[in-house]
Structure 1
Amino acid sequence: MMKNFIARWIVSALSIFLTAKMLASVDVSGIGATLVAAVILGIVNLFLKPVVLLLTLPINLLTLGLFTLAINGFMLYITAALVPGFEVRGFFGSIIGAVILSIFNMILTKIFDIEE
């Protein structure tokens, strides 16, 4: 179980690093900030995201789930506000960053065969 946690943490950090290299709107200052951002993003997604999803359920239903992209961007934006050395510029930059981050995370999870 601990091995799976560490593997997911590393994959998440690598996804954040690759997203920062790919997008001008996402910036990370170093390895330390990347590792901390991965942990904080995981905590934000674990505790805050379900509450926000529940509160925005009517909007999400009306948009057929597309509002979830904005929520994911908001979670990334909150993480950037909490982690020194990790910056996301603009709300649309955070939405695009969250989409790219999710794609990298999915690909790397499959490549390294990490259990869900």
Structure 2
Amino acid sequence: MGLIIRILISAVAVYVASLFVPGVTVTGGVGTYLIVAIVLGLLNAFIKPILTILTIPITIITLGLFLLVINVLMVYLAASLVSGFAVSGFFAALFFSIIVSLVTALIDAIV
């Protein structure tokens, strides 16, 4: 039950972020938001740790700011995997990932 709640929270965060970030479009309705949330969750669970380990030297040199680039790469990868989800640029993906993180944290704190 906890997994379903987390997916729903992530889907709401994706919806809110798509409203506020002008370069992000999600078409197809509620199902697309759920699919984007699931894909982002899977990418963050499996691919992101590998990229984080492989880029430790760059992350240390940039004082951790390279982790934002990894977040952007996760959003781009999700956009390439989900057909109704599109991101138009680097900053759109960056702001999208930041808003999704903040909204998810806020809803998690409330729930």
Q: TM-score normalised by the shorter chain: which range applies?
A: over 0.9
- The corresponding residue for 1:9 is 7
CA drift of 1:93 comes to 1.3
CA drift of 1:91 comes to 1.6
Q: Deviation digits for residues 67-102 of structure 1, max 9, x if unmatched?
A: 111111110110011001111111221111111111
- Give the TM-score of the pair, scaled to structure 1: 0.91
Does structure 2 conserve the Cα–Cα contact (< 8 Å) formed by 1:74 and 1:95?
no
- The corresponding residue for 2:39 is 40
Give the number of equivalent residue pairs: 110
- The corresponding residue for 2:100 is 101
**Is 1:60 the equivalent of 2:64?**
no
Q: Aligned partners of 2:41, 2:101: CA distance in 1, in Å?
A: 12
Residue identity matched to 1:21: L
Which 4+ residue blocks in structure 1 deviate beyond 6 angstroms? none
Q: Aligned partners of 1:83, 1:95: CA distance in 2, in Å?
A: 18
Structure 1: 5+ residue stretches without partners: none
Q: Matched residue of 1:47: which SS?
A: helix
Q: Matched residue of 2:86: which SS?
A: strand
Structure 2: 5+ residue stretches without partners: none
CA drift of 1:58 comes to 0.4
Q: Aligned partners of 2:98, 2:73: CA distance in 1, in Å?
A: 12
Q: Matched residue of 2:31: which SS?
A: helix
- The corresponding residue for 2:23 is 25
CA drift of 1:48 comes to 0.5
Q: Matched residue of 1:101: which SS?
A: helix
Q: Matched residue of 1:87: which SS?
A: strand
Q: Aligned partners of 2:24, 2:103: CA distance in 1, in Å?
A: 14
